[in-house]
């Protein structure tokens, strides 16, 4: 039992930190521009596909650098020539634009790379078990993923709180007009932040692609979860995003690892139902079965009882 608990924690940590890399960019973009970017996970997918194609020529390590930069550039272009244009039509139009963009990117990926799963692999140098515990390997690559995500968090925190750029960005979030009056190019800052956020998502894709498989559905699988995290953590809150990411990652991991379910609960209560009971599907539910929908349940509950999220300061 103890090994299940340890590995569940490690897995939850890996997933949670990966989710954070996506959520951090999304929440930054949201707090600055007020746009909930539906296409954010699509940039994550682009990162994985770009890295796959680049790694065919250069190997993994150059791809780790080049792919996120390319994704960031794509993001910046999207902001400059798409989002900025739509901005005039209001927030709903922006949201719908990113929604359409997510749809378009998925189709474009299928157009260029096909619909099959890509054979995108982690580098050989990290292809060894870091340690073996109770007969199960913990791959070194996962430790590498944790390392990258933690570095990103520290780096981001440092940039936002300790550097001049970070202070301008923070100011632009709350007082865009004042910042503009001080002579800063606010549209350019917007573009840069959008590009940087997309690049972060791309980086997440680069390191997640080999583990979570690179296929055209990978954005959809993650897309709504990232949304959930940003909303639960509180829109615009970086710390909230971190807490919510880890919460969701661990919650899902523990739920899958557990063997609990309605039958146990019913046993505890001493209730039993005939196997042809109309609600039999409910009485047979197990926690692992519903693990992937737990985040959505959490989302609805948070929104009903605390619409500003766990750490959020404002509602929308």
Partner 1 sequence: MLRKSIVWIVFAIVLLVLPQIFTSIFSISIFTQMTIAIVFALSYNMLLGQGGMLSFGHAVYFGLGGFLAVHALMMIENEEMMFSVTLIPLVGGLFGLIAALFIGSFSTHKAGTVFAMISLGMGELIAASSLILVSFFGGEAGVSGDRTYGPPFFGYDFAQGIEVYYLAAAWMFVATLCMYLFTQTPAGRMANAVRDNPERAEFIGYSARRVRFISFAMAGFFAGIAGGLFAVNYEILTEENLNAASSGRVLLMAYIGGLGFFIGPIVGAIVLTLINSLLSNYTTLWMLYLGILFVLTVMFLPRGLTGFLMMHRVPWHLGKLRLLAVPYTLTSMPGAVFLLGLVAMIEMSHASGSEFVYLGIALNPDGYGSWAFLLAVTGVAFYVLRLTLPRLRDAWSEANTITRKPDHAAKESGGQS
Partner 2 sequence: MTILTSAFHRLRAAISAIILCAVGISCTAEAQEPIKIAFIDPQSGTFAATGESGYMVLDFAADYFFNDKGGILGGRKFEIIALDNKNSAADSQIQLRRAISEGIQVVFSGNGSAVASALSTAIDRHNRRNPDSQVLFINYAAVDPILTGADCNFWHFRFDAHSDMKMEVMTDHIARNPAIDKVYIIGQDYSFGKAVGDAAISMLAAKRPDIQIVGNELHPIGQVKDFTPYITKIVSSGANAVITGNWGADMVALGRGIMDAGLNVPIYTFYAAYDGITATLGEAAKGQIRLVHNDHANPILSDVRRDFTRAYKAKNPHKDVTQPRLVNALMMLAAAMEKAGSTQPYDVALAMEDLRITTMSGEEIWMRADDHQVFQSLNVSVHTNENIEFDSDNSGFGLLTEFVVPMEETITANNSCRMTRPQQ
The reply on whether position 216 binds partner 2 by CB under 8 A is: yes
Q: Which does 113 bind (CB under 5 to 8 A by kind): partner 1, partner 2, none?
A: none
* Alpha-carbon gap, residue 252 to 247, rounded angstroms: 8
Q: Which of 137, 161, 181, 267 binds partner 2 (CB under 8 A)?
A: 137
185: number of CA atoms within 13 Å, CB side? 5
The reply on whether position 230 binds partner 2 by CB under 8 A is: no
Residue number, 26 or 64, with CB nearest to partner 1? 26
Q: Taking the mean position of all CA atoms in its chain, how far away is CA 264?
A: 33
Three-state secondary structure call for residue 139: strand
Q: Which of 56, 93, 125, 260 binds partner 1 (CB under 8 A)?
A: 93
Let me know: does 47 contact 203? Beta carbons within 8 Å: yes
Q: Which stretch binds partner 1 (CB under 8 A): 121-129, 192-200, 254-262, 288-296?
A: 288-296
The reply on whether position 1 binds partner 1 by CB under 8 A is: no
* Alpha-carbon gap, residue 59 to 52, rounded angstroms: 9
Which candidate, 250, 228, 252, 251, places its Cα nearest to that of 240? Answer: 228
The reply on whether position 53 binds partner 2 by CB under 8 A is: no
Residues in region 3-62 near partner 1 by CB under 8 A: 36
> Can you give 161-225 as a three-state secondary structure string?
HHCHHHHHHHHHHHCHHHHHHCCCCHHHHHHHHHHHHHHHHHHHHHHHHHHHCECCCHHHHHHHH
Give the nearest distance from C-beta 12 to partner 2 in angstroms.
8
Q: Which of 58, 117, 151, 163 binds partner 2 (CB under 8 A)?
A: 117
The reply on whether position 4 binds partner 2 by CB under 8 A is: yes
Q: Which does 238 bind (CB under 5 to 8 A by kind): partner 2, partner 1, none?
A: none
* Alpha-carbon gap, residue 46 to 27, rounded angstroms: 19
Q: Which does 89 bind (CB under 5 to 8 A by kind): partner 2, partner 1, none?
A: partner 1
The first and second tokens of residue 108, run together, are: 């474009």
The reply on whether position 90 binds partner 2 by CB under 8 A is: no
Q: Is 283 left (phi over 0), alpha (psi -120 to 50) or beta?
A: alpha
Burial class (CB in 10 A: 0-12, 13-18, 19+), 63: buried
Q: Which does 150 bind (CB under 5 to 8 A by kind): partner 1, partner 2, none?
A: none
Give the phi and the psi of residue 144 in degrees, each rounded to 5. -60, -40
Q: Taking the mean position of all CA atoms in its chain, how far away is CA 195?
A: 16
Q: Which does 119 bind (CB under 5 to 8 A by kind): partner 1, partner 2, none?
A: partner 2
The reply on whether position 226 binds partner 2 by CB under 8 A is: no
* Alpha-carbon gap, residue 15 to 35, rounded angstroms: 25
Residues in region 233-292 near partner 2 by CB under 8 A: 252-253, 256-257, 286, 288-289, 291-292
User: Which positions touch partner 1 (CB under 8 A)?
Assistant: 36, 82, 85-86, 88-89, 91-93, 95-97, 99-101, 103-104, 106-108, 110-111, 224, 227-228, 231, 235, 278-282, 285, 289-290, 292-293, 296-297, 299-300, 303-304, 307, 315-316
């Amino acid at each position: 039992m103890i090994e299940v608990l340890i590995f569940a924690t490690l897995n939850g940590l890996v997933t949670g930190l990966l989710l954070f890399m996506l959520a951090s960019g999304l929440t930054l973009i949201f707090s600055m521009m007020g746009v909930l970017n539906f296409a954010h996970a699509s940039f994550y997918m682009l990162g994985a596909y770009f890295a796959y194609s680049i790694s065919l020529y250069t190997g993994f390590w150059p791809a780790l650098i080049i792919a996120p930069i390319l994704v960031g550039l794509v993001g910046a272009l999207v902001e400059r020539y798409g989002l900025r244009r739509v901005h005039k039509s209001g927030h709903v139009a922006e949201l719908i634009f990113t929604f359409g963009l997510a749809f378009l990117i998925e189709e474009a990926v299928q157009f260029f790379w096909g619909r099959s799963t890509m054979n995108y692999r982690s580098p050989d140098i990290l292809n060894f078990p870091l340690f073996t515990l109770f007969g199960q390997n913990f791959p070194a690559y996962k430790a590498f993923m944790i390392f990258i995500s933690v570095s990103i968090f520290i780096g981001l925190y440092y940039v936002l709180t300790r550097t001049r750029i970070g202070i301008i960005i923070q100011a632009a979030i709350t007082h865009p007009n004042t910042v503009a009056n001080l002579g800063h190019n606010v549209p350019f800052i917007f573009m840069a932040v959008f590009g940087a956020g997309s690049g972060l998502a791309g980086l997440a894709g680069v390191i997640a692609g080999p583990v979570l498989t690179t296929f055209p559905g990978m954005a959809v699988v993650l897309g709504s979860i990232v949304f959930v995290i940003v909303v639960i953590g509180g829109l615009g809150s970086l710390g909230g995003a971190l807490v919510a990411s880890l919460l969701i990652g661990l919650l899902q991991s523990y739920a899958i690892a557990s063997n609990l379910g309605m039958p146990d609960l019913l046993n505890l209560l001493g209730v039993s139902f005939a196997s042809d009971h109309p609600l039999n599907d409910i009485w047979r539910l197990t926690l692992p079965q519903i693990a992937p929908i737990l985040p959505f349940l959490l989302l609805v509950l948070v929104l009903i009882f605390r619409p500003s999220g766990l750490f959020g300061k404002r509602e929308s």
